[in-house]
Amino acid sequence: MRVSQKKIITSSFDLRQSPEYKKYAKKIVTERFERIKINFINKFNQHPVTREVLAGPRSSNLSGTLSGVGNLFSFIGFEARQKPIDSVRPLFNKIFLTSIQIKKDGSFICFASYPKLQDYYQVTPLPWATGKSWMEGIERGISNLGFFLNQKSEKSRSGQGLQASNKINKISFQRTPYMSKLINEFEAEILKLNQTTI
């Protein structure tokens, strides 16, 4: 049975001892990781919840969380000029490779540092509830949608939307996977990266 030249070389030579190979391998792995990071950020930017909150009080309910009644920006109660997504973006700068370990056969294991779900919850506080996160609310649900009156008002924080004193509909908030799903997909991509070869 013929054995490939690559197998002969890798079985007889410890690639960890090759500065040239280590440099090349780390370059390739770093480039692949950066693509994963960019993909994660792009998915966040394109997510319906992100787009809806970015669009402000005049947005439609792109996420479907409110069954088409108003929009998240007004329902959550952000101030008209507030930019809630701005507090999230600095966390993306904390996504980076901490180390890349090259094995004898040239395969590798990379280790990454990145914000966890709770880190995102900490920078996305609900405007009217201390210690609670609007991002977490997207995933677990936010109460009182049945009292939400979607109309323009000077008394509204956003200028659009009020809480009525009595329940006006039977609509419930539709919980939706958001940052937890994005992080899970990111982690899956890192695992897949560690299972590939150069």
| Domain boundary assignment for the chain | 15-193
- For residue 66, give the DSSP letter: T
The answer to whether residue 149 scores a pLDDT higher than 50 is no
Q: pLDDT by residue (tens digit) across 117-143?
A: 999 999 999 887 778 999 999 999 886
The answer to whether residue 40 scores a pLDDT higher than 80 is yes
The torsion of the CA quartet 102, 103, 105, 109, rounded to 10 degrees, works out to -70
Q: pLDDT band at residue 75, thresholds of 50, 70 and 90?
A: confident
Among residues 176, 29, 7, 37, the alpha carbon closest in space to that of 104 is found at 7
Mean residue pLDDT across the chain = 83
Distance of CA 72 to the CA centre of its chain: 18
Q: How far apart are CA 77 and CA 72, in angstroms?
A: 8
User: Residue 163: what pLDDT?
Assistant: 56
